[in-house]
A and B are shown apart, each in its own frame.
Chain A
Amino acid sequence: MSIEVTGVSKRFGDFVALEDVSVSIPSGQLTALLGPSGGGKSTLLRIIAGLEWADAGTIGIEGLDATALPARKRGVGFVFQHYAAFKHLSVRRNVAFGLEIRKRPKDEIRRRVDELLALVHLEQFADRLPAQLSGGQRQRMALARALAVEPKVLLLDEPFGALDAKVRKELREWLRRLHDEVHVTTVFVTHDQEEALEVADEIVVINEGRVEQIGSPDQLYDSPANDFVMRFLGPVTQLGSELVRPHDVALAPGADDPDAVAGRVARVVRVGFEVRVEVSTGEQVVLATMTRTEFFRLGVDVGATVSVRVVPGAPVVPVLGSPVRSALEVPAR
């Protein structure tokens, strides 16, 4: 295990940011800390980096107890949401900073910085100031700067949060490829479940200062530990007292199926290839999503009677005491 977090608690005044959190982060992997804003994930990352101090608990990095070490001695690379660029230094000097203060020989620094700039595709911008770069370029510079000192672990705090959707998507794919090249243990914080599912080898879901579940993207999606994880990782709808994914809801014409719930099609919305069908069962409105082809094969329309059931083997989670809400619950962000 590369990072070992044991029993970490942190309060800010009355606010409990983290409560007795223990996480093991494996070496060489790309791990996401996923959860809603204010859930404590950034605080945990900053505690690992030594930028924040835990009230209780210990932090181990590569088998070394780092709990009392200051940030500069932890061998951790940190990338901030808003880049934290050294504004008065050129891109090259930004990347070289960690090496310069370590008093490495000049030609070694030049060679290493050239390598890193090539890695993040910023060779032609070496002599510019950070202000002359776009957001995505600045973040790549920050990444090269963090990698320059060959950190034992690389921590990224909402690294793509300040970028627009298109650049964000490009950069996350790029981060995945970069990680496959560099193989440094990487932990990134995100509130975007799509980002976590797409990029991470392992996801740690954190909510209200506690770890809700740890697992691979598939494990989390297919067998969520509770209704929070289920809701957070994708769209859900409620059938009876169970939460289920709308694409796991099966509809059949007529009300003949004794194991299914009978209902009436209340609304049909087509979004591109996807069709969303809202079925009123009397006390609930259940959402089912399917492809166009499936919808045409079903051959129903608004007002038709259908039987609703969950596809066998699909993950369901009991709803604990929460009232029936709208048909579609958009995952919380």
Chain B
Amino acid sequence: MRLTRASGLGLGVAMLWFSLLVLIPLAAVVATAAAGGWDGFWQAVTNEQTAAAIRLTVGTALLVTVVNVVMGTLIAWVLVRDRFPGQRALEVLIDVPFALPTIVAGLVLLSLYGPDSPLGVDIANTRAAVFLAFLFVTLPFVVRTVQPVLAELDREVEEAAASLGASRLTTFRRIILPALAPAIAAGAALSFARGVSEYGSLVLLSGNLPRRTEVTSVRILSSIENDNLDNAAAVATVLLAVSFAVIVALDVIQRRVGRRG
């Protein structure tokens, strides 16, 4: 395939931009992690406290993503397909967790679910706090990616399925879901990535207890504060690999669902 001058220039600019912003910094992180050799890397990530932080972060992010896939699709469905009082308000409120500075979100969560909770729910210094904080900040992603696709779906296609004898559930599973799959996958990827990288919203409520509620972002920060850059880079590299694997996995799932029907 030959490129025209204009599209060649476009591709060049895009690659340069992408390299400067993404590829080079990522390569630098991996290079730093590799500097200590395989043994150093392995030691860093199998350190008991670090490993616990990675397990907690990745596990919670995965769980939250699963919840978001279901709840986000449901909320998007309600926003697109139903008409009810307060709909406009809900539309705006959905974005609040996204728009709020994360430390403000952390403060809100601490005052609501902390030791002085007006609701009588105290989850401070527990893993539930991490889960809740992840859930709070990642809520809009699936909703916002699915909503426009759902709004564009041709209702006649569902009517066609119904006239061919399909129940509501069959129509959803075989006709609607495949059409939504790319959007759900994109929302899930954003949600997972945001969860893994979360810091501000949970740092106040979770208490950052080593081996219990400490997440990787906190762990990386403390490594750097202790002047252990290699350790921080090693953890970052693991997160990078996990995120990449999850994005690839979501793409594979999405393609499979999209083709099934």
| Chain A residues at the B interface, C-beta cutoff of 8 Å | 49-51, 70-74, 76-78, 80, 82, 84-89, 93, 97-98, 101-102, 142, 145-146, 148-149
Q: Which residues of A contact B165 (CB under 8 A)?
A: 72-73, 98, 101-102, 149
Give A332 Cβ to nearest chain B Cβ, in Å.
26
B47-93 CB contacts (< 8 Å) to partner A: none
**Contact assessment for B261 and A101 in the assembled complex, using a CB-CB cutoff below 8 Å:** no
**Contact assessment for B160 and A72 in the assembled complex, using a CB-CB cutoff below 8 Å:** no
Q: Which residue from chain B places its CB closest to the CB of A100 in the assembled complex?
A: B174
Q: Contacts A84-B154, A89-B261 hold; do A49 and B163 have CB atoms under 8 A apart? A: yes
**Contact assessment for A146 and B164 in the assembled complex, using a CB-CB cutoff below 8 Å:** yes
**Contact assessment for B157 and A70 in the assembled complex, using a CB-CB cutoff below 8 Å:** no
B162 part of interface (Cβ distance < 8 Å): yes
- Tell me, in angstroms, the Cα distance from A86 to B170 when the chains sit together: 13
B172-213 CB contacts (< 8 Å) to partner A: 174-175, 178-179
Q: Which residues of A contact B26 (CB under 8 A)?
A: none
- Tell me, in angstroms, the Cα distance from A102 to B167 when the chains sit together: 11
Q: Contacts A71-B159, A80-B159 hold; do A86 and B175 have CB atoms under 8 A apart? A: yes
Give B153 Cβ to nearest chain A Cβ, in Å.
10
**Contact assessment for B154 and A101 in the assembled complex, using a CB-CB cutoff below 8 Å:** no
**Contact assessment for A78 and B163 in the assembled complex, using a CB-CB cutoff below 8 Å:** yes
Q: Which residues of B contact A88 (CB under 8 A)?
A: 178-179, 258-259, 261
Q: Which residues of B contact A82 (CB under 8 A)?
A: 154, 156
Give B172 Cβ to nearest chain A Cβ, in Å.
13
- Tell me, in angstroms, the Cα distance from A87 to B153 when the chains sit together: 11
Q: Which residues of B contact A87 (CB under 8 A)?
A: 157, 179
**Contact assessment for B179 and A72 in the assembled complex, using a CB-CB cutoff below 8 Å:** no
- Tell me, in angstroms, the Cα distance from A84 to B161 when the chains sit together: 9
**Contact assessment for A70 and B174 in the assembled complex, using a CB-CB cutoff below 8 Å:** no
Q: Indicate the member of A50, A72, A77 with the most B CB atoms within 10 Å.
A: A72
Q: Which residues of A contact B261 (CB under 8 A)?
A: 86, 88-89, 93
Q: Which residues of B contact A50 (CB under 8 A)?
A: 162-163
Q: Which residue from chain B places its CB closest to the CB of A82 in the assembled complex?
A: B156
- Tell me, in angstroms, the Cα distance from A78 to B165 when the chains sit together: 11
**Contact assessment for A149 and B156 in the assembled complex, using a CB-CB cutoff below 8 Å:** no
Give B184 Cβ to nearest chain A Cβ, in Å.
14
B166 part of interface (Cβ distance < 8 Å): yes
Interface residues on B, range: 20 to 34
Not counting A80-B159, A101-B166, a sample of 10 additional A-B residue pairs whose C-beta atoms are within 8 angstroms of each other reads: A51-B162, A51-B163, A72-B166, A84-B154, A88-B178, A88-B259, A89-B261, A97-B166, A97-B174, A98-B165
- Tell me, in angstroms, the Cα distance from A35 to B69 when the chains sit together: 47
Give B10 Cβ to nearest chain A Cβ, in Å.
26
Q: Which residues of A contact B259 (CB under 8 A)?
A: 88
Q: Contacts A80-B156, A84-B159 hold; do A97 and B164 have CB atoms under 8 A apart? A: yes
Q: Indicate the member of B160, B161, B166, B258 with the most A CB atoms within 10 Å.
A: B160
Q: Contacts A86-B157, A88-B259, A93-B261 hold; do A146 and B163 have CB atoms under 8 A apart? A: yes
Interchain Cβ contacts under 8 Å between A and B, 25 examples: A49-B163, A51-B162, A70-B162, A71-B159, A72-B165, A72-B166, A73-B165, A77-B163, A80-B160, A84-B156, A84-B157, A84-B160, A85-B157, A86-B157, A86-B161, A86-B261, A93-B261, A97-B164, A97-B166, A98-B165, A101-B164, A101-B165, A101-B166, A101-B174, A146-B164
Give the 9 A-B residue pairs with the shortest CB-CB distance, closest first: A98-B164, A84-B160, A84-B156, A78-B163, A71-B162, A88-B178, A72-B165, A89-B261, A80-B156
Q: Which residues of A contact B258 (CB under 8 A)?
A: 88
Give B53 Cβ to nearest chain A Cβ, in Å.
41
Contact with A along B228-261 (1 / 0, CB 8 A): 0000000000000000000000000000001101
Give A6 Cβ to nearest chain B Cβ, in Å.
22
Q: Which residue from chain B places its CB closest to the CB of A52 in the assembled complex?
A: B159
- Tell me, in angstroms, the Cα distance from A288 to B204 when the chains sit together: 90
Give B220 Cβ to nearest chain A Cβ, in Å.
41
Give B156 Cβ to nearest chain A Cβ, in Å.
4
- Tell me, in angstroms, the Cα distance from A80 to B166 when the chains sit together: 17
Q: Which residue from chain A places its CB closest to the CB of B155 in the assembled complex?
A: A84
Q: Which residue from chain A places its CB closest to the CB of B156 in the assembled complex?
A: A84
Give B209 Cβ to nearest chain A Cβ, in Å.
47
- Tell me, in angstroms, the Cα distance from A148 to B174 when the chains sit together: 18
